[in-house]
Structure 1
Amino acid sequence: MKIVKISPLVLFCCVLVAALGGTSCSPTKSKEKTAGQRIDERNQRLKWRIATTLGEYERVGMKDPSWDADAKAALESFANMDVTDSSEAYNDLRRVGSYAEAANYKGCKDPLVEYLYMKNGYDWQNHTKAENVKKYTEVGNAMANSGYCEIRKFYGCLRMALTIFDLEAENQDYYRLRHDSEAHLAAALEEKELPPAEAAMACRMMLESTRNNTGEFPAAYEAMEKPLFKNFAKTSVPYVAKGYYNIELAWMA
């Protein structure tokens, strides 16, 4: 019998078609967006990012005159990072690390600012593995238990969990924080203000971070599926996520 090889691209298209056909909802067909519409979407996304960083810091952050300026500068640079052109995004990334480090040096222990510091300014090479695991766990826990919005809790838990995993794969705090991130993402997907582009980015990160684990991958998708189709069915976001999930699941078989 001749075995026919199917390319990954063809298989992905087949699975995506199946995903679209297997649901009662489908994305609304729309014309190509104008330059003005794209600018409006970018501005709305930036407004949301500022609200969920600077705005949240003003609402629940650990503020102090000695570090407020640096903390706010770090948060503002972070908010701009994914909505500016690539060259400016690189500069924003450097500013995030620099300002977050300065705030940390002045005593800032705000969970979100410290999370940015751990991601972009912390020098892990000057610490032992045990010290690093402890610090990443503390920051992940602080974000999970903070008053910050769900999308920031999601990233705080997942990114700290993945860093712990890189240091110590069988660490139980990795599993706990990564599992917590599922719940925070599901809750974030229920928030009406969440831009589709941000929902897509968060879901993609969750799926990519678990796709090599046959136990965690299905659980991660199942946690996001219901709120995705409930709140984003008129966009491509849930269908792309479902297609990605099914194609990766097919390769696991």
Structure 2
Amino acid sequence: MRTVSWWNEFEQNCERFDAASVAEALADVIIPRIPSLLLRREAQTAADTLLRHLNRPASPAAAEAAALATVRLAATVARLDERALGNDAGTTEVSALCHVMQGEYALAAVTIAPITGTAPLLKAFVSALRLDSFGADLALRLLTGGNPPAVAVRAGEKLGRYNWWPAWLREIVTERVLAGTLCGDTIAALKQCAFAGLTPTQARMAKRLFAAEPTLVETTASRLESLGEHPAAALLRRGDVRTVAFAARLIPV
């Protein structure tokens, strides 16, 4: 079970955390699960009022309307809880939305997670990080792989800048990040490949060289030696990824 402090790591580690995005995404997850149609309509009205405020934070009128909507929704939940005959008043979903209205997004996630599961909530929080598509996908992969939000946020922000790289390079980044083997030398080598203008055939060979396929490494190293590139051949045999772009460009198209 993920705790409030776990969910809070998203906002704590992202300077650009977008409250409007996470509020809207959480509302979209929560509201359809409210059993009562009338309560669902009231919740939707409250959420719409909140979003108008978050998207226009400088408007005093929007802020006042959002505050009133929050009070009204909380009062509705309290009234239903008082009238409930058993332990379950059927207000869990609306209570979660109240937390969203109050800006307590982590508490909202903890409240609603037993009903929705964590997958849609992770997507909601990642949407608030304002990452490029590659960074967002990478962050989600890290989170679903068991990494804490702090790690996922930093990786998404740092590596999301390579969104323009070809898909095969992004695949290598993702694989190595998930395996915990991405290092500075690999990033430098991948950058060289990104700027090398490799043909599709050369790119396929480069990907296999990054994977250190023994037969291909030896064949490529031998070719480098035949061209007089003995230092590069030696580095390639030792697994130095910084030679991959150079070696790949010498592969006949």
Q: Same fold (TM over 0.5)?
A: no
TM-score normalised per structure 2: 0.33
TM-score normalised per structure 1: 0.33
Q: Which has the larger radius of gyration?
A: 2
